[in-house]
């Protein structure tokens, strides 16, 4: 059994690798070799990567691809996507091209409000707490002036602070529910700093509030933290076209396709098992752009899935309808994004990705991300209700299978041509590869 280690963080990167390889892997030299292969030869760049997180031993790369031809509000974008899953970038590109000649994507910002909360325990008279809060509310704002001055100059800041009684959910539990406008910054550090100052004012002022008893003066702040659930920081993306434009076939085929697409969305509205996979496909597009632009995909995922459950049941993020001969497909999605601060100022590829997107504001990035998620969902649904999802996905997965088999470039070329007219399955590829090797 490997013994625990003391002072791991103080080891050099090479010492960390040696310790990991020697104590936790069977093929130690191979482990060392692979980890070092992924070091960047540019020492300055590697040092930057090393300092993003703690205990760095190497870099973990994801492919960065481009989905071109995204027409969003009559502006053309090439969307950078960082993702490892086959067929995602191809599907987004195909969907973008389809809607390019049908008016493209229309997007609207429905809100940009961020949320943070001070969670605290108060054992006393609720009415006295309300009176106390009303008395100190203005001071809560002014005590945070030093933190908010710069943000206010840019047009942002604290938009509201309210006291919420949560004692029905948990005994003696209250919160300051606070909302913010953070403009092009995601705003996590700004919000958390403000919340900690709010908590300090709350506790300090309670100690000298004359109407509180001694017990009531001792407000217990449990924590002060932003929320990644932002139901009022939402963007809508939509596409629409006449039924005839939806398919290159005849009007009956187009009508049938439109109806099946609506049915597919309706099923995802009412059936949780389907909704989860339905929304996962949307997140294929959203996460890929979030990663490419240096935003926090984990926060976005948590907030979006909570939003999908806002009506008490997990459901589809997208909607579809047929009205007066027009097919309409849309999504409302919460996205608290930033284009300044964090990795956006540090990671060279993030800077390039934002440059490719023509240096968008946070609200513009929200619209690009939402359109990509919608495109991804449209491509998936269209495949599901027509040819099935596997035909396209497996064709894109073909190179992965061939790489696993160790195929040469010439073998890849031969087998790629073979599977242009044959169904791709793992067993079929293995069989074709073996036959080629034996010829």
Residue that terminates a domain, selected from 227, 256, 276: 227
Assess if residue 148 is contained within a domain: yes
Report the alpha-carbon distance of residue 129 to residue 133 in Å, rounded: 6
Please indicate, yes or no, whether residues 101 and 239 belong to a single structural domain of this protein.
Answer: yes
Query: Is residue 248's pLDDT more than 90?
Result: no
- Supply the pLDDT for residue 435: 76
For residue 402, what are the contacts with CB-CB under 8 A and spacing of at least 6?
A: 411, 412, 415, 429, 433
Please indicate, yes or no, whether residues 91 and 238 belong to a single structural domain of this protein.
Answer: yes
Please indicate, yes or no, whether residues 74 and 185 belong to a single structural domain of this protein.
Answer: no
Please indicate, yes or no, whether residues 212 and 255 belong to a single structural domain of this protein.
Answer: no
Please indicate, yes or no, whether residues 218 and 255 belong to a single structural domain of this protein.
Answer: no
- Supply the pLDDT for residue 1: 64
- Catalytic residue from among 16, 269, 278, 393: 393
Query: Is residue 425's pLDDT more than 90?
Result: no
List pLDDT tens digits, range 13-25: 999 999 999 999 9
Please indicate, yes or no, whether residues 336 and 301 belong to a single structural domain of this protein.
Answer: yes
Report the alpha-carbon distance of residue 131 to residue 128 in Å, rounded: 5
- Give yes or no: 393 in active site: yes
Report the alpha-carbon distance of residue 174 to residue 272 in Å, rounded: 32
Report the alpha-carbon distance of residue 284 to residue 304 in Å, rounded: 13
Please indicate, yes or no, whether residues 300 and 348 belong to a single structural domain of this protein.
Answer: yes
Q: Which DSSP symbol is given to 33?
A: H
List pLDDT tens digits, range 86-100: 899 999 999 999 999
Decide if 124 contacts 206 (C-beta within 8 A).
no
- Which one has a higher pLDDT value, 75 or 248? 75
Residue that terminates a domain, selected from 175, 202, 227: 227
Q: Model pTM? A: 0.89
Range of the domain at 422: 393-438
β-strand partners of 431: none
What's the CATH code of the domain at 185? 3.30.70.420
Model confidence band, residue 410 (pLDDT cutoffs 50, 70, 90):
confident
What is the Cα Rg of the chain in Å? 27
Report the alpha-carbon distance of residue 161 to residue 117 in Å, rounded: 9
The residue to which tokens 């960390």 are assigned: 16
Residue 181 C-alpha from the chain's centroid? 20
**Average pLDDT over the chain, rounded to whole?**
93
Please indicate, yes or no, whether residues 358 and 263 belong to a single structural domain of this protein.
Answer: yes
- Give yes or no: 280 in active site: yes
- Catalytic residue from among 13, 85, 113, 200: 85
Assess if residue 216 is contained within a domain: yes
- Catalytic residue from among 296, 347, 364, 397: 296
- Which one has a higher pLDDT value, 275 or 402? 275
Q: How many domains does the chain have?
A: 4
Please indicate, yes or no, whether residues 243 and 363 belong to a single structural domain of this protein.
Answer: yes
- Give yes or no: 437 in active site: no
Assess if residue 61 is contained within a domain: no
Assess if residue 274 is contained within a domain: yes
Query: Is residue 390's pLDDT more than 60?
Result: no
- Give yes or no: 196 in active site: no
Assess if residue 270 is contained within a domain: yes
Assess if residue 368 is contained within a domain: yes
- Supply the pLDDT for residue 417: 77
Decide if 212 contacts 202 (C-beta within 8 A).
no
Report the alpha-carbon distance of residue 11 to residue 73 in Å, rounded: 52
Query: Is residue 392's pLDDT more than 70?
Result: no
Please indicate, yes or no, whether residues 105 and 120 belong to a single structural domain of this protein.
Answer: no
Please indicate, yes or no, whether residues 158 and 197 belong to a single structural domain of this protein.
Answer: yes
Torsion of Cα atoms, 81 then 87 then 92 then 98, to 10°:
150
- Catalytic residue from among 97, 166, 177, 280: 280
Most confident of 42-51, 192-201, 411-420: 192-201
Assess if residue 175 is contained within a domain: yes
Please indicate, yes or no, whether residues 303 and 417 belong to a single structural domain of this protein.
Answer: no
Report the alpha-carbon distance of residue 262 to residue 388 in Å, rounded: 16
The percent helix, strand, coil of the chain (3-state, each to 5) is: 50, 20, 30
CA distance from start to end of the chain = 49
Q: What is the token pair recorded at 177?
A: 């529910």
* CA-wise closest residue to 246 among 238, 233, 256: 256
Assess if residue 62 is contained within a domain: no
What's the CATH code of the domain at 250? 3.90.770.10
- Supply the pLDDT for residue 341: 87
For residue 56, what are the contacts with CB-CB under 8 A and spacing of at least 6?
A: 13, 49, 50
Query: Is residue 41's pLDDT more than 90?
Result: yes
């Amino acid at each position: 059994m490997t013994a625990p280690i003391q002072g791991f963080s103080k080891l050099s990167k090479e010492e960390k690798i040696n310790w990991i390889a020697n104590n936790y892997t069977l093929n130690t030299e191979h482990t060392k070799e692979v980890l070092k292969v992924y070091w960047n030869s540019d020492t300055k760049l590697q040092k930057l990567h090393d300092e993003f997180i703690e205990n760095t031993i190497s870099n973990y790369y994801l492919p960065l691809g481009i989905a071109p031809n995204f027409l969003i509000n009559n502006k053309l974008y090439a969307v950078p996507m960082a993702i490892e899953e086959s067929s995602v970038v191809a599907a987004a590109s195909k969907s973008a091209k389809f809607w390019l000649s049908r008016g493209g994507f229309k997007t609207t910002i429905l809100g940009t409000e961020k949320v943070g909360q001070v969670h605290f325990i108060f054992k006393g008279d609720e009415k006295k707490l309300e009176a106390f809060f009303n008395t100190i509310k203005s001071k809560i704002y002014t005590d945070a002036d030093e933190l908010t001055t710069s943000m206010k100059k840019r047009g942002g800041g604290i938009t509201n602070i309210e006291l919420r009684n949560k004692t029905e959910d948990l005994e003696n539990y209250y919160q300051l529910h606070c909302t913010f406008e953070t403009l092009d910054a995601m705003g996590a550090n700004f919000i958390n700093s403000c919340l900690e100052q709010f908590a300090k004012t709350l506790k300090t002022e309670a100690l000298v509030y004359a109407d509180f008893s001694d017990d009531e003066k001792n407000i217990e702040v449990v924590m002060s933290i932003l929320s990644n659930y932002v139901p009022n920081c939402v963007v809508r993306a939509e596409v629409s076209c006449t039924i005839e434009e939806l398919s290159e076939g005849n009007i009956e085929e187009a009508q049938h396709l439109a109806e099946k697409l609506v049915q597919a969305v309706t099923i995802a509205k009412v059936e949780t098992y389907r909704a989860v996979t339905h929304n996962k496909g949307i997140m294929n597009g959203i996460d890929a752009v979030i990663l490419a632009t240096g935003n926090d995909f984990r926060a976005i995922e948590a907030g979006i899935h909570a939003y999908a459950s806002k009506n008490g049941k997990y459901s589809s993020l997208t909607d579809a309808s047929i009205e007066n001969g027009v097919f309409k497909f849309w999504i409302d999605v919460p996205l608290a994004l930033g284009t300044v601060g964090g990795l956006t100022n540090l990671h060279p590829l993030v800077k390039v990705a934002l440059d490719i997107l023509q240096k968008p504001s946070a609200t513009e990035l929200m619209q690009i991300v939402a359109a990509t998620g919608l495109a991804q969902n449209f491509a998936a649904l269209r495949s599901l209700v027509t040819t099935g999802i596997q035909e396209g996905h497996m064709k894109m997965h073909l190179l992965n299978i061939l790489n696993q088999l160790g195929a040469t470039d010439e073998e890849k070329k031969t087998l790629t041509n073979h599977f242009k007219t044959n169904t791709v399955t793992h067993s079929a590829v293995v069989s074709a590869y073996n036959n080629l090797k034996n010829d």
